Amino acid sequence: MATSRAKDMTRRQFLKTASSGAASLALAPGLLVQPANAVSSSKPNILFLMADQLRFDCLGCMGNRVVQTPNLDAVAREGIVFTSAYSSTPTCTPARAGLLTGMSPWHHGMLGYGRVAPHYRVELPRLVREAGYYTFGIGKMHWYPQRTLHGFHGTLLDESGRVESPGFISDYHRWFMKAAPGKNPDATGLGWNDYRAWPYILPEELHPTHWIGQTAVDFLRQYDRPEPFMLKVSFERPHSPYDPPPRFWDMYQDADMPEPHIGKWAARFAPHKIPPPTTLWHGNLGVDQARRSRHGYYGNVSFVDEEIGRILDVLKERGWYDNTLIIFFADHGDMLGDHNLWRKSYAYEGSTHIPMILRWPASFGYDERRGQQIDLPVELRDVLPTFLDAAGAEVPEGVDGRSLLQLVRGQTQSWREAIDMEHDVCYSVENHWNGMTDGRWKYIFHAYDGREQLFHLEEDPGELHDLAGDPGYQGVLREWRDRLIEHLSERGEPFVKDGKLLIRRKRMLYSPNYPGFRR
């Protein structure tokens, strides 16, 4: 059970202030308060829980002994943890394009931080809807235009401070203006890409993490439609601002926060301006600052975990828990000062390695596999085929992902050996790369100048030792270089020519497969 001191809003308060417009939960057809009774369907419900910028090693079930995540750890004990889960293009929008389409970056078309297209041939909410589900999304979508549905029956949005569509106001901000008239939702004073951290200064109930959790709780309490549901709950935290409410800040007041991993190869990223801007992307700010940033970050993680616990409690109250496919993952990670880097978009573990947990319905069987870990490489593209598999629907041609339920069933022999990763220019022309990993080794090609890096993650999970220049590892380096060349071969120039990787000084944000692509 979740342990929360935050009181639930009454239904009258919620319906009065929570939503507005066509996406309003209060106006969504069929969502009326009814006695707790299970929806009758042979298909399982689908709950996908998503955190923004949550790195792989910040959950208890991933071996972190400091962070407190009891609810997600419980889901992990009842499901499978994928220890080699990655985000192929580790910033918000291209990661979400891969999630939406089930495709690799080249095939969905986003090679870096751009805009998710308004429509794709293959879209997760639409395909699940066509499989007989009522589909709803709550929280951060990060799509453009911002009210685009991509097949959802409805959404209630919290998009931080982004106003990218004319006149856009998020549902959270509309609610906030009614719940706390005259107050500033950003009064804590931290920026969206800030490295600083301190406690949220407004009442906890006004925090966007609580709003997202409460909105999901109300959706589940009110749901009475005959179809099974697919509910997406997408939290904006632990993405900066690192602003947990005081009780979550206090939770880590005396915690032994880990120091950042800093390899000798990362000295190039240590310099920074003095005083540093709060949105810097590189700089050695000292161990104390890195630990304070993690202090706020861990508080945000635990706050998200508590809200997830409240959501799971409602599933149990309504008798749906054992008939719901539950998945949790992040869109990408957060460097938190590792290798003198901040934020994301890098090939390194803090940025691209993500948590992923899957709990399947009791009727699926395979109970002997619950509580296990799988180290085969998986990626966000695998979520779409997993949902269609659970729904008994066909996966469209052209989807690159594979159903994670194959691994639950023990069908591992044909699984991919490695996963591709890349990011177009971000923050600096030098931050422009392609890579491959299987969770044990990682190869990185820096496209701007042709530098290579090789890490033996199994022995060096902190990526402290770059083996690319070590004579003893040249055979391994060639093997992984050849893997990347093979992967990029369908692209031709300017990526590869005559079996060799090419230096690329010009950016290519969108591939020719991006909808409406224009050179």
Known catalytic residues are 92, 142
Which residue has 């700010």 as its token pair? 285
Secondary structure (H, E, C), 69-135:
CHHHHHHHHCCEEECCEECCCCCHHHHHHHHHHCCCHHHHCECCCCCCCCCCCCCHHHHHHHCCCEE
Q: Could you tell me the two tokens for 148?
A: 């685009």
Q: Helix 287-317 and helix 208-222: axis angle, to 10°? A: 10
What are the angstrom distances between the C-alpha of 420 and each of 104, 297, 367, 443?
8, 28, 32, 10
Instruction: Tell me the H-state helices in 123-201.
Output: 124-130, 171-179
- For Cα atoms 367, 369, 373, give the angle at the middle one, nearest 5 degrees: 150
Residues contacting 260, CB < 8 A, separation 6+: 287, 290, 336, 337, 338, 339, 340
Q: 171: closest CA among 27, 5, 313, 304?
A: 27
Q: Could you tell me the two tokens for 17?
A: 């202030």
Whether the CA torsion 86, 91, 96, 97 is positive or negative: it is negative
Contact between residue 92 and residue 141 where contact means Cβ atoms under 8 Å apart: no
Q: Which helix (H) or strand (E) holds 433?
A: strand 433-437
How many CB atoms sit inside 10 A of residue 172's CB?
Answer: 26
Q: 511: closest CA among 91, 86, 103, 92?
A: 103
What are the angstrom distances between the C-alpha of 383 and each of 162, 275, 397?
26, 42, 15
Q: Which residues pair with 282 in a beta bridge?
A: 341
Amino acid type, 208: P
Q: Helix 208-222 and helix 171-179: axis angle, to 10°? A: 100
* Cα dihedral value 309, 311, 312, 314, nearest 10: 130
Q: Could you tell me the two tokens for 238?
A: 């632990």
Residue environment code for 422-437, b if the CB has 16+ CB neighbours within 10 A, otherwise e: bbbbbbeeebbbbbbb
Largest CA distance in the chain: 69
Q: Could you tell me the two tokens for 285?
A: 């700010």
The three-class DSSP label of residue 424 is coil
Which residue has 């950042």 as its token pair? 260
